[in-house]
Structure 1
Amino acid sequence: MTHTALVIGGTRFIGRHTVTELLANDYEVAMVNRGNHENPFADDDRVTRIEGDRKDRQTLRTAKLSVDPDIVIDCVAYQPIDVETATEVFADVDGYVYISSGSSYSAEAIPKREGETPLCPCTPAQATDDSAETYGNRKAEGDRAVFAAAEDGVNAMAVRPCIVYGPHDYTERLDYWIDRVLSHDRVVVPGDGQNLWQRAYVEDVASALRIVAERGEPGAAYNVGDRRALTLAETVETIAHAVDTDCTVVTASDDALAAGDLSPDDFVLYREYPHLLDTCALADLGWESTPVEEAMGKTVAEHRESDRDGSEWDPGREAEERVIGIKETL
């Protein structure tokens, strides 16, 4: 029996991989979005696209009536009202899954666990804000909207990824580090290189969304992240291994970075306090994580075919060279 999935979003990164995951598992797939980004499935007759703004309740109602989805994956709910509206419109589907975030956790615990680690508060003003500063607050309030919907009988769940990476990542955060390894034989890493900000491979996030939609418990949230979390130094080394090149990690203290007028926060994917999510609940549903070497290999291969270089995150190679020079004289 063929099942039908509706993906709200579906063209850029997580949504794109989610559509591919659903197709690979024999779903008929429809997407609803505004059409602001190129549609990678434009020539795929297995995918139907409905144009409209997800914030428009009538757009969601039209999508529901035309698609009659078994499951709904919500990739672009950035305000709590988006979740509240979607869980009302899709109240009778077999599974509604909201993409939340590891940023919804307010406490610095290692690891962060669903149902145990406190979530961020969210004021009415934060709930309607679109700034990066309120992202975690809004995602947490979306989680609470999922919990409330489940209390009312909706089969609604949340999936909380940490930082997502992989092919077609428009944020270019990991692209910066890949480009550094491809371009230089010495790469500056802030601190001692052991800082840990867990990431989630995008294909694993996509499979998590499908699995939670099919098997998740209504009202539950599920963390998703690489089962083997890499430190920043290990990340650089894994990239170097993927491209089969020699690359020296140059760790730099605050004082050493100051020689180049740099600080640790100038480097993307640096986080002073470790960020690690417990993914046992998701694994209990049968989800598995792609080995990081395989995930990095696919990520690097697609990077080389793209025009992304992560330059928007570049702290300045000349400044880094000054740091490297200082380190070499010590």
Structure 2
Amino acid sequence: MTIQLSRLFRFSPVSKTITAAAEQDKSLVFFVTDEGELSNKWENDYLKNHEACMFRILRLLEKSSIIIRLEEESPEAAVLCAFCPEEKAPYISIVKNGEVLANIPHTISTQSQFTAAIRAAFPSATPPVNPNTPAALFAERKARLDAQQGARNAQEQKERLERLARDKARREAETPARKKYLAEQKKLREDEIAEKRRILMLVENDKIERREREKRKVHGPAPAPVREKEGKKPVASGETLMTFRLLNGTMLKNTFPSESKLADVRKWLDKNRGDPQVPYNFQQIAPLMLLSASDEDLSLAELGFSHGTTLVLTNKTQGGMPINVGEWNPEWAE
């Protein structure tokens, strides 16, 4: 029976082989060759010899060790020289648990010497492992680092789950505050839009007023619009007299409780106005300003209309532009 060379020589990196040997409790047999005549004799004649005595030696090597074939000029061979200072190839170094069990130098030239040296390196009684050897220290350090890494991974996983739970709780706790913030931002945007419209109205009214003054210089004052006269009625306490100038120029008056909201006033006006039914805005005359949608949630008293006021309807489909200041007649507020 012949043992295949591939079963003996394992061409793997030394670092991985050292780890495998430690895990399997095997020795490391380093065969360093210079490809010379003696190296080829060791490899082809001794390690392939099928004689019964040599076969038992090869079986011992295969069972108890991992054999690595190294080129003399390779980096692995240079590292090996630190533990096994042989100056000339070929040679075999047998190492276990960081201790050199045997060195077979190039001076061995016969098969019997070769067999005796191999057998001497594998006595029947295995010596105890020295815990201070480099291999033992390396294994202990690796086990310690693995344990530390496992503990760190577990801690990081725990912290990540805790962080996710805190973030979820914070989001749930901030939901009402977030809604309040969004409502406040919406109100601010509406107020900004209303303020811009008010400024635009003032600018446009100023332009219209200048044009009307120029017209009056040329054609004289424009006739006052036809309006419906109504006698003044006494207003009871807690009530507000509201006067409206409709889109067609006519006037409409009614008394409302001072606690009525402007939205309720709009509903009454929509049912009783006789001008074209188009969307409209409320414009206050004194001071001149366009009332916004948020103002309609306020009562007449909160808007400062407790003693009565006049509101002018402006066409919303035309950009909500205010009335022509030149057309305003103070008598409309009577």
Measured against the shorter chain, the TM-score band is under 0.3
Q: Which has the higher helix share?
A: 2
Q: TM-score, normalised by structure 2?
A: 0.16
Q: TM-score, normalised by structure 1?
A: 0.16
The structure that has the greater radius of gyration is: 2
RCO (CA 8 Å, sep 6+): is it higher in 1 or 2?
1
